[in-house]
Structure 1
Amino acid sequence: MMKKQTSPRPTKQDRGDATREKLLSSSIDVFGRYGFDGATTRMLAETAGVNLQAIPYYFGGKEGLYVATAEHLASIIIEHVGELRSAIFERLAQLDKAGEAMSPKEARDLLTQIVQRMIAIFVSRQSESWARFIIREQMEPTEAFERVYANVMGPMIGMAGRLVATILGEPPASEHMRLRTLSFVGSILVFRMAHAAMLRQMNWQAVGQAELEILRRHATELVATLGSGKEGRS
């Protein structure tokens, strides 16, 4: 008779990793809803379903957990765009090393891909808690904002700036080009930051596959109008 196989017992390290993960995952939503001052350690622990002492044990206190949560949030976002982001950065580095310039057509293709990916993320339910956390940090930046900006926002805006500058044939580091890039990024962020207004304006109950396909086509149009003379027309 075959013996029943049993799963190995989780080790102390496994349990510790699971506790950390629970705290980090749930803290994105708690800090986003109540802010650093409004979120108590008891609230954070109870939401995560862990012992109150886990916070000082693993993070040194609420402030340590807050900064670690920002880093965790950054890593989650990177997971969703990491492969595409890495491919674009590698392509840019390859061209820089060879002393060659990217063609406007290739820049449009790459920018379209990343914009479509970002819009899909922004309209997902998962990104609601991310937005709350980041919006609070935009209003009153702390060390947590520096972690999110350094790991995600800064590199992504910089990458978009290189592509937009290539399409428009302007120096990417110029003040004008940086403003153009921020305006372009803002036209994408609106799908998360003004999500309720978008649903109301479009008469959508939610964003399903059909709505997402409409938004993908819109993303293509956003990139296509860059430098086409159609920008800013009423």
Structure 2
Amino acid sequence: MSQPRRPRRSQAGGYARGDETRQRIIAAAVKLFGEHGFAGASTRDIAAAAGVNAPALQYYFENKEGVYLACAEFIADDIRTRFEPAMRHAAGVLKGEGDMHALIDAFMSLHEVMLDMVLSDPQASNRRLFVAREVAGEEPRVASTLLEQRLKQPLNKLRLTLLARISGTTTRDPVTRIRLLTLKGQILPFFYPPGGCLDELGWKAIDAAKGALLKATVMEQTHTLLESWQSSR
């Protein structure tokens, strides 16, 4: 696959950003690119899965490279949008003289968004497969690079700064960075169900009730750790 070029038509003009047909094509393409890779997902299969005819892909995206780029941009922008309110709140707390409760609450809000995406987003597994292929070097790093620039870098900076303020350390302190990794690590076992975590839990799937239990448990553990690091500063 060559590096995808931007579609000939601007995404902002000619048709609405939220156009239903366009979004159906993107949703179908994310799933098929994730399952079969760029080479294995044909435009014919994408069109069929989206319930449109093949020329519709050319109309909206010009070619398969354009479809892939649109998928990458959609994934990055949609995830950033989900985090945006919690990130704005955290930035506001850090700019002010927020007390320890406000700092912990801001960190917990960011953690909650990630848990909700992992445990209750029906499209999460498709998106993870799409990005995972890039990380594995199977496809050009398009979505993963956009995610790094638009979300991961600013989000990690916020979380590190919050954690440093809570624990009385600095963002450069290795302990602060290790602690942040351990907090992220609480979520990682649930990123790719079904998997080892289901075997450990004795579950066949993570339904709404089990997802709520997982979220509540991880949130409680995170809050306990943050309070412990704050009290020992």
TM-score between the two structures when normalised by the length of structure 1: 0.76
Aligned residue in 1 for 2:119: 123
- The worse-fitting range, judged by mean Cα deviation, of 142-151 and 190-199 is 190-199
Structure 2 stretches of 5 or more lacking a match? Answer: 1-13
Q: Is the 8 A contact 2:33 2:130 kept in 1?
A: yes
Deviation at 1:174, TM superposition (A): 4.8
Alignment root-mean-square deviation, CA: 2.8
Q: 1:194 to 1:211 in 2, by over 3 A?
A: closer
Instruction: Name the SS of the counterpart of 1:123 in structure 2.
Output: helix
Q: Which amino acid aligns with 1:221?
A: Q
- When residues 167 and 55 of structure 1 are mapped into structure 2, their CA distance, relative to the original with a 3 A threshold, is same
Report the equivalent of 2:56: 54
Counterpart position of 1:190: 189
The aligned counterpart of 2:8 is: none
Tell me, which stretches of 5 or more residues in structure 1 are unaligned? 1-11, 230-234
Match of 2:132 in 1: 135
For residues 118 and 144 of structure 1, do their structure 2 counterparts lie closer, same or farther at Cα, with a shift above 3 Å needed?
Answer: closer
SS at match of 1:204: coil
Aligned mates of 2:185, 2:156 — CA distance in 1: 10
Native 8 Å contact 1:42 1:52 kept in 2: yes
Aligned equivalents of 1:42, 1:179: Cα separation in 2: 46
**C-alpha separation between the residues in 1 aligned to 2:92 and 2:33?**
35
Change in CA separation of 1:120 and 1:195 when aligned onto 2, cut-off 3 Å: farther
TM-superposed deviation, 1:202: 1.5
Identity over the aligned pairs, expressed in percent?
28
Deviation at 1:184, TM superposition (A): 2.7
The 2-side partners of 1:213 and 1:157 are apart by 25
Summarize the Cα distance change of 1:144–1:117 in structure 2 as closer, same or farther, 3 Å threshold.
closer
User: What's the counterpart of residue 67 of structure 2?
Assistant: 65
Residues 176-208 of structure 1: CA distance to partner in whole angstroms, max 9, x if unpaired? 544543343233233213553222212233334
Q: CA 1:142–1:209 in structure 2 vs 1: closer, same or farther (change >3 Å)?
A: closer
* Structure 2 counterpart of 1:87, one-letter code: H
Q: Is the 8 A contact 1:32 1:134 kept in 2?
A: yes
Which amino acid is the alignment partner of residue 37 of structure 2?
Answer: G
Moved more, 48-57 or 205-214: 205-214
Structure 1 residue 72, shift from structure 2 partner: 0.8
Which amino acid in structure 2 is aligned with residue 36 of structure 1? F
Counterpart residue number, 1:113: 109
Q: Which residue of 2 aligns with 1:217?
A: 217
Query: Is the 8 Å Cα contact of residues 165 and 177 (structure 1) preserved in structure 2?
Result: yes
- Structure 1 residues 38 and 173, CA, compared in 2 at 3 Å: closer, same or farther? farther
Q: Which residue in the other structure is 1:199 paired with?
A: 198
Classify 1:43/1:192 alpha carbon distance in 2 versus 1 (closer, same or farther; 3 Å): same
> How many residues align structurally?
212
The residue that corresponds to 1:145 in the other structure is 144
Do the aligned residues in 2 keep the contact of 1:105 with 1:167 (CA within 8 Å)?
no
After TM superposition, what 4+ stretches of structure 1 lie above 4 angstroms from structure 2?
173-176
Q: Is the 8 A contact 2:61 2:67 kept in 1?
A: yes
Superposition pairs for residues 75-90 of structure 1, below 5 Å? 75-90=77-92
Cα displacement (A) at 1:103: 4.1
Paired residue for 1:171?
Answer: 170
Cα pair distance change 1:174/1:44, threshold 3 Å? farther
Q: Which amino acid aligns with 1:150?
A: Q
